[in-house]
Amino acid sequence: MNIKFIHISIFVSAFFLLASEAFFVVTNSNRGEFFAEGEPQNMSSGLYSAYIHEDNSDYNRIKAKGGLLIDFDLDGDLDLTYGYSSSYYFRNENGVFEDITQSYSIDDQGSRGMVSGDIDNNGYPDILKWRFQEYDPIDSLLYQGGNQDYRRMPHHLLLNFGAHEFSTIQYLSEETLPFLHSQGLVDIDLDGDLDIVAIEKAGDEQFYAFRNNGIDENGDILLEEIYSYFQVDGSSSRTLAIADFDNDGDQDVYIPRKYGINWLFENQTLTGSYDNVVYNPNPNPQFIEVAISNNVHDDSFEDLGSMGYGAAWGDYDNDNDFDLYLSNWGINRLFRNDGNGFTDVTNIYNVYSDSLSNGAAWGDFNNDGTLDLWAGNIRNRDDLFLNDGEVEWNEDYSPRFLTATQDIVAADYNNDGWLDAFTPGLQMASPAPNGAKFTSLLYKNVTPDSTLSVVDYNWVKINLEGANNNISNDGWSDKSNKSAIGARVIITIFEGSIQTREIISGKGHGSMDALELHYGVGYASQIQNIIVRWPSRDPNSNQQKVITYNGPFDVNSTYRIVEDLGFVGLKGDTNSDNNVDILDVMALIDIVLNDYQVSPEIYWAMDLNYSDDLNILDVTKLVYSILFR
């Protein structure tokens, strides 16, 4: 029996029907145990039930301000972590999640938001999570202690050593940035490691950049403040969204704000245009604020100015520059990137959404080849706008669940090639529509299984890994950070059509999308080329490193590309059978003991410690990984 919760509209044209469909089912609700009526939902994901009911206390365990779907153990599927008053960490086993927070002693301190990237360049993505540190009634649940004993909590960095083994360190003191509200990871100076951008919601300085100077002998991260932005108008910053909006090879930062204007900070590490940039080793200033000149300041909310609460970048028109969706507590905005500025096209596509929006996400949820838009709302249902090439995007397939959505994390958690969504959520406050209420939900995309759909649309997924294994701070590196954050990946399909994605660590309302890039390609049966604009330097041209991987490539496939190496399989798959098991351990032992020569791709698969030296430590890590990941 096919399950779907989306309202179905009947169209006259069969083609239009196919282009406009998207079906999901919620996989972490047990409401059916209490009431038979309502939208179909189940508990197949293994997550806690989000249904708010006096006989279901688990809904408190899946409240979240932010969340991540990331392949933390490099086994080819996406694990889940999220947080609010506490944090939880789930291992993904073939699309079913298991809470291993306590059994693996993973830090469970609560979180205002979180992002991920390989901060220490050891090959495994880390978790950066932060807490709001000053008491106010809205944020009181984020503190330990009783009565009025609200002590400041540190911000935690979970360094990942593989197989779900994390070391938790404090990365900012409790007194630093007391009004910290959101962060992201960017290789600001393009030296091959990830730096931190952060905002506070109050104070004269509200935007900061910290350079990553590595991990010291005590295991602590060394951060150096290299930029801050001063303002005195009493306005407030809420969150941030990262992308290379000006196509010059370094990532920029957009900051939705209240009671002033929204900010757009243009990174000055590279200036100029694509393939003709100038590298500035020590720009002063590091960022220039350019929101007004680009028409994305949006101070139009009556007499209050800006009312921004979230934002997300995506190339909805497939022209290889990134457009911007702004979530407001007012009127949401869609800004089209015209190359020399932005045009407000909200009224053209009718993507206003609700009056109280927090997060948003772009993703091709129906695999038709164009990005769709999911807008999260805190006092109403979310809006899913399907971009079907029509002037007004179709919202007939929006979710019917009331969740107080904080953000949307778009990712393919069950590896079927169709984008799913995790929506971190809290308990909806009054006034709210009548109906069942939920906290965070996991939506499984069941479009290809729906009864009305005969869609045979195809997809491609791409994972990147940078070549840098250390932190050196020696200028524009010829090797990218390990997570390849900042890389832009363009696929060419047929007759010159392209699609563009970028690896981004920070968007929406305190979360990020998966590091894995997803492309719907419609009826295309092959991909012609994959073009990667790495954030590193080409030593021959002293321009951005651009590598074209010539196809044709099969669709409905996942590709892994390592910088300066090429296509690889799974980490640990030493015998290339697309599985990681005891046979790989035996093969690795044989190679280590006999010092056999192997191909660079197999060498990469066996080097689990990313040390460029195959030894017994790799054997130990592989055994541990098989047993515990």
Alpha helices in 315-371 (DSSP H): 346-349
Half-sphere exposure of 551 (CA within 13 A, CB side): 17
- Tell me whether residue 12 is in a domain: no
- 74 and 92 part of one domain: yes
- Residue (of 62, 5, 128) closest to 404 by Cα position: 62
- Tell me whether residue 343 is in a domain: yes
Q: Which two tokens stand for residue 136?
A: 């106010």
Choose between 508 and 195: higher pLDDT: 195
> Is a pLDDT exceeding 50 seen at residue 143?
no
C-alpha 568/C-alpha 459 separation (Å) is 19
Contact 271, 321 (CB under 8 A): no
> Is a pLDDT exceeding 80 seen at residue 294?
yes
C-alpha 74/C-alpha 194 separation (Å) is 19
- Tell me whether residue 551 is in a domain: yes
Tens-place pLDDT, residues 542-580: 999 999 999 999 999 999 999 999 999 999 999 989 999
C-alpha 266/C-alpha 550 separation (Å) is 33
Instruction: At 197, give phi and psi (nearest 5°).
Output: -110, 140
> Is a pLDDT exceeding 80 seen at residue 148?
no
CATH of the domain at 79: 2.130.10.10
pLDDT at residue 151 in the model: 60
C-alpha 474/C-alpha 472 separation (Å) is 5
- 53 and 76 part of one domain: yes
Q: Which of 452, 486, 501 is the endpoint of a domain?
A: 452
- 145 and 204 part of one domain: yes
C-alpha 527/C-alpha 550 separation (Å) is 9
- 135 and 237 part of one domain: yes
pLDDT at residue 166 in the model: 97
**Does the CA dihedral 216-116-406-500 come out positive or negative?**
positive
C-alpha 465/C-alpha 121 separation (Å) is 10
Instruction: At 502, give phi and psi (nearest 5°).
Output: -140, 140
pLDDT at residue 332 in the model: 94
Instruction: Count up the domains in the chain and report the number.
Output: 3
Report cis status (omega within 30 of 0) of the bond before 399.
no
Q: pLDDT-derived band of residue 10, with 50, 70 and 90 as boundaries? A: very low
- Sheet containing 79-83, strands listed edge to edge, beginning at the edge strand earlier in sequence: 66-70, 79-83, 87-93, 96-99
Instruction: Give the alpha-carbon dihedral of 226, 232, 233, 236, to 10 degrees.
Output: 40
Tens-place pLDDT, residues 578-629: 999 999 999 999 999 999 999 999 999 999 999 999 999 999 999 988 887 7
Q: pLDDT-derived band of residue 531, with 50, 70 and 90 as boundaries? A: very high
Percentage of the chain exceeding pLDDT 70: 93
Q: pLDDT-derived band of residue 456, with 50, 70 and 90 as boundaries? A: confident
- 546 and 558 part of one domain: yes
- 486 and 386 part of one domain: no
- 383 and 529 part of one domain: no
Tens-place pLDDT, residues 421-453: 999 999 988 888 899 999 999 999 999 887 555
Q: Which of 416, 435, 452 is the endpoint of a domain?
A: 452
Q: What is the domain extent for residue 613?
A: 582-628
Q: Which of 452, 487, 508 is the endpoint of a domain?
A: 452
- Tell me whether residue 10 is in a domain: no
- 571 and 592 part of one domain: no
- Tell me whether residue 13 is in a domain: no
pLDDT at residue 141 in the model: 42
pLDDT at residue 2 in the model: 36
- 621 and 551 part of one domain: no
- Tell me whether residue 18 is in a domain: no
- 527 and 397 part of one domain: no
- Tell me whether residue 3 is in a domain: no
- Mean pLDDT along residues 274-279: 94
> Is a pLDDT exceeding 90 seen at residue 64?
yes
> Is a pLDDT exceeding 50 seen at residue 17?
no
As to burial, measured by CB atoms within 10 angstroms (0-12 exposed, 13-18 middle, 19+ buried), residue 552 is exposed
- Mean pLDDT along residues 257-274: 95
DSSP string for residues in 244-302 = -TTSSSS-EEEE-EESS--EEEEE-SEEEETTEEEE-SS-SSSEEE-HHHHT-----BT
C-alpha 264/C-alpha 335 separation (Å) is 13
- 231 and 367 part of one domain: yes
pLDDT at residue 150 in the model: 54
- Tell me whether residue 191 is in a domain: yes
- Side chain identity, residue 296: V
Strand partners, 532: 489, 547
- Side chain identity, residue 449: D
Q: What's the CA angle centered on 502, arms 318 and 191, to 5 degrees? A: 145
Contact 440, 408 (CB under 8 A): no
Average pLDDT of the chain, as a whole number? 91
DSSP string for residues in 292-328 = HHHT-----BTTTB-BEEEEEEE-TTSSSS-EEEEEE
- Residue (of 256, 287, 254) closest to 269 by Cα position: 287
In this structure, the number of other CB atoms found within 10 A of the CB of residue 627 comes to: 8
Contact 60, 141 (CB under 8 A): no
- 469 and 606 part of one domain: no
